[in-house]
Amino acid sequence: MADIAGAAQSSTDEFEREPLGVQERITSDGSSPWPVEPDRYRLVGARACPWANRAIISRRLHGLEPVISLGIAGPLHDDRSWRFHLDPEDKDPVLGIEYLREAYEKAVPGYDKGVTVPAVVEIASGKVVTNDYKALEFDFATQWSAYHRPGAPDLFPEKYRDEISELSEQIFHDVNNGVYKCGFAKGQHAYERAYTALFDRLDELSDRLADQRYLVGDTITEVDVRLWVTLVRFDAAYHGHFKCNRSKLTEMPVLWAYARDLFQTPGFGDTIDFTQIKQHYYGVHKEINPTGIVPVGPDPSGWLTPHHREELGGRPFGDGTPPEPPPVGEQVPPLR
């Protein structure tokens, strides 16, 4: 079944992520068959999914809401893929489809790879254009710049791109994907290798962030987005469900403060729905949680407590400004 993990069958005990199935790009210079064009595309995400969350945050920070619409798949799905079960008549109101697989099959007849989010769909044809989340985030920052809001931050500063790329790769392998390596390991040794790599990397990141507010430079960059989407789900899902249980995020003081700082920054916490996150992880991964029982905790109110990270200096948006509140229809429930 294709879920947010993008799990593929492995010949070893280790989790392997499926290759992306539609790796096109949307560009402004004619280098791809898909041009940058307002109102042509719809970003399909899910509140549950960290990979989709990255694209949703990037879209928010750059202010691309007026030119790229957003569809949200619900937290539950079956072997037919992500489903729009939160929308009227269980269909995306713009694309008119019940299952995201329909858009993949329009793009690639007989499509047999993972049906993942985020996915960008051309509205007129109903075809998936790309599910390449890494390229998508970079292209939101670079190819769509003519449509950025005034005050949009530079999430890929030229002078830091090599450092962002290197750090992003480390975080991807050991943290973003590392929690899945723990959760979907089929053997003790594979699990322990992933577990050790995960917490070694988190300790290293904690040391890095002990005296600087952000991971690279003195402003938010895309690598902060990439780390944060895993941290924000850590206690709600990964600590228990994926057996990443050496420490809760709330027991790692530097990372907990860093994560709260970003949660309270416009464009981050206003994309998070903890209920949907838990409904997905605990409700869909039947091989890990066969009862489907969704935990009541943890209490999310701590995300709004003071973090004091501003004392380290730094400017979240550099010379830019925070994004406006989410558009009507894209708000998430307040913490309760």
- Please report which helix (H) or strand (E) contains residue 60, including its range: helix 50-62
Contact 64, 55 (CB under 8 A): no
> How many of the other CB atoms lie within 10 Å of CB of 125?
12
Catalytic option among 41, 99, 133, 180: 180
Active site residue 49: yes
- For residues 5, 234, 75, 288, the Cα torsion angle rounded to the nearest 10 degrees is 60
Question: Is there a contact between 126 and 103 (Cβ–Cβ < 8 Å)?
Answer: yes
182 is catalytic: no
Give 83's Cβ-side CA count (13 Å radius).
13
Q: Cβ distance 107 to 131 under 8 Å?
A: no
Beta strands in the chain (DSSP E): 7-8, 16-17, 26-27, 34-35, 41-46, 69-73, 77-78, 81-82, 119-122, 127-130
Which of the following is catalytic: 41, 49, 104, 238?
Answer: 49
What positions carry a catalytic annotation? Answer: 49, 180
